[in-house]
Amino acid sequence: MSSTLNHAQLIANSQSNNESSRKQVVINTRPVERAAALTDHLQAAGLTVVEIPMLTLQPRPTIEQDMTLMRQWLAGDYKALVIVSPTAAASGLAVWQALEDERQAQNHDDDNNNERKDIAINALQAPSYLIAVGEATASVLNNAKIEASNYQVLQPHIANNEGMLAMPEIERLQAGDKLLVWRGLGGRRLLVDTLLARGVHIDSIAWYERIMPVDAMAQYEQWLKEFLTDNLTHNMMQDASAVQQPKPIVVVSSGTAFEHWESIVRAVAEKVLEQETARETPAILPYKLSDFSYVVLGERLANMVAEQQLSYWRVEDLAPETILAAIHAKAC
């Protein structure tokens, strides 16, 4: 279900009435490590941005199976390596360098140890195509202190499933070929269904996992309290014709983040409802999932939101310009 028209009307009304206009609130749920660029861009465009991360990135211990897959990749067993995030890129590069150090140590006498690391840094050579999903991921690989000529980082024109499948390096994969993916536990399973149906073998290394921040609910409760208090104060000072606060817009980049958001909103709503039911005259109504609009990444997440009949706008990448354009397009 979409309430885009009503939302656009609210924005248009607010822009035409400067005295009673209300700034659009955007809730940025991206992890702390990845939130700043989007927050800065939206704030520069005049939006009020609140950061309430729904995910925090936690490194996972590297197990022997991970090392085995890395060694098989370095031995040339895979046609391509897909790296889905900056964190996966940094983690994978560190292990790659460690394995190269190990290899160099076996090929040099102890007397050459002092120069071994310098040689190793310049000796990293990718045994397959390196495909980075997104500019930030590519930057981690390109900015590593490694001789650039030893590998080339490839990127899809659009950082989504369709964009990846359109790449010649992916399109030519056939039955029996092997693909390795560096990712986070529970992250987007790019390409998997299509390539498995084609007979391509896919292995993955989850370098990190994404968990709910311990203070996520407290942050949401604090923001909601301030938001509702501000609305109440504003409404008391305005006449009935004044522009009302438009729905807050929540930027969500993964199914896991949405699940965390959903659990927090529902839990706080139940808590508020219990508190207000005890009052003779309830002061506020609990905020539900449908009291927000959503900017979501990709088809899978859009389907999750649509199943609950929530208002949403789908984007195909997480560039700040893309997200701002989607918000403005729906506000016109």
| Cα(59)–Cα(249) distance, integer angstroms | 30
Please name each of the domains of the chain with its CATH number: 4-55+214-331 (3.40.50.10090), 58-211 (3.40.50.10090)
Q: Tokens 């149906």 belong to which residue? A: 197
pLDDT per residue rounded down to tens, the chain (332 residues): 443 323 333 333 333 333 335 789 999 999 998 899 999 999 999 999 999 999 999 999 999 999 999 999 999 999 999 999 999 999 999 999 889 888 877 776 555 555 544 444 445 688 999 999 988 899 998 887 555 446 789 999 887 778 889 999 999 999 999 999 999 987 666 688 889 999 999 999 999 999 999 999 999 999 999 998 887 776 666 655 555 678 999 999 999 999 999 999 999 999 888 876 766 555 567 889 999 999 999 888 999 999 999 999 999 888 899 999 999 876 65
| Cα(91)–Cα(183) distance, integer angstroms | 10
Strand order in the sheet with 25-28: 48-51, 25-28, 249-252, 293-297, 312-315
CB atoms within 10 A of CB 114: 7
Find the farthest-apart pair of alpha carbons in the chain and give their distance in angstroms, rounded: 84
Q: What is the pLDDT of residue 18?
A: 37
Q: What is the pLDDT of residue 231?
A: 76
Q: What is the pLDDT of residue 3?
A: 36
The neighbouring-strand residues paired with 80 are 129, 179
Q: What percent of the chain is helix, strand and coil (3-state, nearest 5)?
A: 50, 15, 35
